[in-house]
A and B are shown apart, each in its own frame.
Chain A
């Protein structure tokens, strides 16, 4: 099936962005977070350099609290594409006993995601890092550049971003500075699913509805992926047919009740859905300008 024209345009734009990074940077890396957006981004990278392989490794920042299904999917994909995967976990955070249940979502995200990411970028001296964020996800992301400058220390200053005209990206940086690159900037959630379907891109099974053991906590459904998550007083585990729209650490990712078991179902559900994708990401609702704050500190 030939691609719809709008997806074809988005695909070509993203491929152009990905090639640009390979041509201009000394040591780029692609952040691979295992979700649907990462899946599309990786697929585009494979297409961009064909018949060559992408000239950069993948990096997964593992908080230790991802769904088991995600890690299995990650390892399958890496083997299938034959790419190099780097995995980094903030050992210091593990030693301090930071976790999403006892430490709270804010501290866990700060230490195990944001700090861990900065450690990894410093450790391997990457000068450019691809991320799968989209502008339609969240208000502060709507103002993000495609090539987003980070001063030494990975700081984002939203008031002082480089103007970005045409496709003439400014790729120049000094030592210690880095660029975050967002090839999916102009994609919407619906575009991602339609492209995933059109191109047969494999996704984590958690996106599809199935009977799963969940517990209702703070008004949302949380899946107990392993026994590290204790039940609180009065909580009961129940089996419901649920799926996930967005995947993160399992205690921080809310499931939705749904029967969408195929890509077609998911797309149909999206078209009629009345809640946004990140509504299930508990880390976003900490404060109104929560994402902007995290991004300033170095979160992707």
Chain B
């Protein structure tokens, strides 16, 4: 056996017999052992749905909850081998609420077996599964029309379903589509040819899987080597460890670090089994270079004459995987290749209805939804379009507070805006403005509930700063919401965008050398952090005006709480919208202690301590 192993996934829903099909493959290839069979017979009587027959599905539903409910919740990986090939099967759930699990299975698969119940034909879910496979870059599908025994092994029925399927799947760009009538429960055409269907003369499912050629000619694609780890055992050796995700490389090849454009020549390909004359896609090696160029984890090495794009803005399909909805403007941690970089979704161009493939306008993505988005990374990243290279075109988005994997993305193209527009270099810089102003620029960010007193305190601070000759500007909800952000409401998505714009304006004022006082409820930590990261670390001072909700409601200077409680104002922070208190604010003001004047004095003292003002 020296065929490349085949990784494939099975898609289908609870009733299509997906787990039964995998159970059948394991059973017929003798991967089920006697003690497992004994456990299966026990379990079949307890949870089974097949009467006295063994319920093969119970072999693969691993978690207790799954066995109890008779459904597959999570991705399970199964292994079997024939004398010709070894297989890894990702068994994934079919329901719409498990789209993310299916995408997970698809991301590492070369082929997909899509199950259709012969009695039901092509369903909405068949389209959904096919679309997700196509989106995740699977090029080979096998349509298994299952339960053919329940339609009297009818060839007419089978050909009708195949016709329906090919009708819509043409548009999905698969390289090959095989169609096979099977009965997973009784084994027809799974591993053994059926005696009931003389009208079918194609291969069995297993034969087809054994011979499917999925080598996507990864070797023929441009050389890409994401650096994983800098290998430095002593002063005489400096190598870069990683796996070639595509292409091949030889000593003597001229290569570049994609992001910096620094060039060198490969000197050795080091492995524990000796140096290699050439390395190919899939090989884990350590490269050494002729020059002492700057290379770190996260860099992508490529041939000098065939480089990936390097941009900080690009368009991508994003599948949302978190319970918290995706909010344009919020900062996430993007992992692409071996690099982690902060990134924002700047706009959601459209959402894709995964059942009809229609595009609809939307402001956010909920769990399991897919949209085409524009993204902006904080530094340029090297990539290839996902359709050209799955390894260099894919990324995940990590929530910066919970560290959950929140989204998965597939890059479609870089945005020219980022590649061709270069920043205007400046002659008057921050340092020269600093000399003129006599103080450092900074954002003083006041956050707190409505009625906490933040604007009042900010006004006193500004008055005092002004008296000392500082150049200041005040941004608050009132002057911004009436102009710049007139188009925004109070939904979560609009609140994020509101703060993003304020942050960008404040950043420009900081560039201009000013002390910018921003007074915004800004209820979400993620957005305050986003603004913090727009400027240098010492240029952002978070001031938490910590007034308890009961006190704010008692004060209610604008009568807003009263109206919110009557339901006349929706999404009011503290009432029906959350406030996430800062965890590490530079300054915390308890406004029940003293008044606005004493609070302002404390803030001024803190600014002096930080040497922002003299």
Listed in ascending order, the chain A residues whose CB lies under 8 Å from chain B are: 4-6, 8-12, 15-16, 19-20, 22-23, 46-53, 135-136, 139-143, 158-159, 161-168, 170, 172-174, 177, 185-186, 188, 190, 273-276, 279, 288-289, 292
Residue of chain B at shortest CB distance from A136: B79
A-B contact pairs, 13 of them (CB 8 A): A15-B243, A20-B228, A51-B231, A51-B233, A141-B62, A142-B76, A165-B103, A166-B391, A167-B391, A170-B398, A172-B333, A188-B81, A289-B67
B residues in contact with A47, CB < 8 Å: 271-273
Q: Which of B29-37, B201-209, B411-419, B590-598 contacts A (4 or more CB under 8 A)?
A: B29-37
Indicate if the CB atoms of B2 and A5 lie closer than 8 Å. yes
Answer whether A279 and B33 are a contact pair too, CB < 8 Å, given A6-B4, A16-B228, A19-B229.
yes
With contact pairs A49-B231, A52-B233, A140-B63 given, residues A165 and B396 touching in the complex (Cβ less than 8 Å)? yes
Interface residues of B (CB under 8 A from A): 1-5, 30, 33-36, 39, 42-43, 60-65, 67, 73-79, 81, 86, 88, 100-101, 103-104, 107-108, 228-229, 231-233, 237, 239, 241-243, 270-273, 282-284, 286, 297, 321, 333, 335-336, 338, 390-391, 394-396, 398, 403-405, 408
Q: Give chain B residues whose Cβ lies under 8 Å from the Cβ of A48.
A: 241, 284
Interface of B is mostly: mixed
Docked CA distance A168–B74 (Å): 18
In the complex formed, the residue of B with least CB distance to A51 is B233
A49 to B239, CA, bound (A): 10
Residue from B4, B35, B64, B237 within 8 A of A51 (CB atoms): B237
User: Which B residues touch A139, using CB under 8 A?
Assistant: 60-63, 76
CA distance A275 to B35 in the complex (A): 6
Identify the closest chain A residue to B86 (Cβ).
A6
Which residues of chain B have C-beta atoms less than 8 A from A19's C-beta? 228-229, 241-242, 284
Closest to B5 in A: A6
Q: Which residues of chain A have C-beta atoms less than 8 A from B34's C-beta?
A: 274-275
Looking at A23, A136, A161, A166, which has the most chain B CB atoms within 10 Å of its CB? A166
Complexed CA–CA distance, A52 and B270 (Å): 11
Query: Given A6-B5, A23-B228, A275-B34, A163–B405 Cβ distance below 8 Å?
Result: yes
B contact residues around A165 at 8 Å (CB)? 103-104, 107-108, 394, 396, 405, 408
Which of B60, B64, B241 interacts with A292 by CB under 8 Å? B64
Q: A162-B404, A163-B408, A186-B88 are in contact. Are A140 and B229 (CB under 8 A)?
A: no
CA distance A46 to B391 in the complex (A): 26
Contacts of A174 in B (CB 8 A): 403
A169 CB, min distance to chain B CBs, angstroms: 8
Residues of A within 8 A of B403 (CB): 170, 172-174, 177
Whether B272 contacts A46 by the Cβ 8 Å rule is yes
Chain A residues within 8 Å of B33, by CB: 273-276, 279
Considering the chains assembled together, what is the distance between the CA atoms of A178 and B573 in angstroms?
34
Instruction: Give Cα distance in the complex from A10 to B284, angstroms.
Output: 11
Residues of chain B within 8 A of A170, CB atoms compared:
335, 396, 398, 403, 405
> In the bound complex, do residue A50 and residue B408 qualify as a contact, i.e. CB atoms below 8 Å apart?
no
A162/B405 in contact, CB under 8 A: yes
Tell whether A143 pairs with B76 under 8 Å between CB atoms, given A4-B2, A5-B2.
yes
Q: How far is the CA of A170 from the CA of B335 in the complex (A)?
A: 8
Contact A168 B321 (CB under 8 A): no
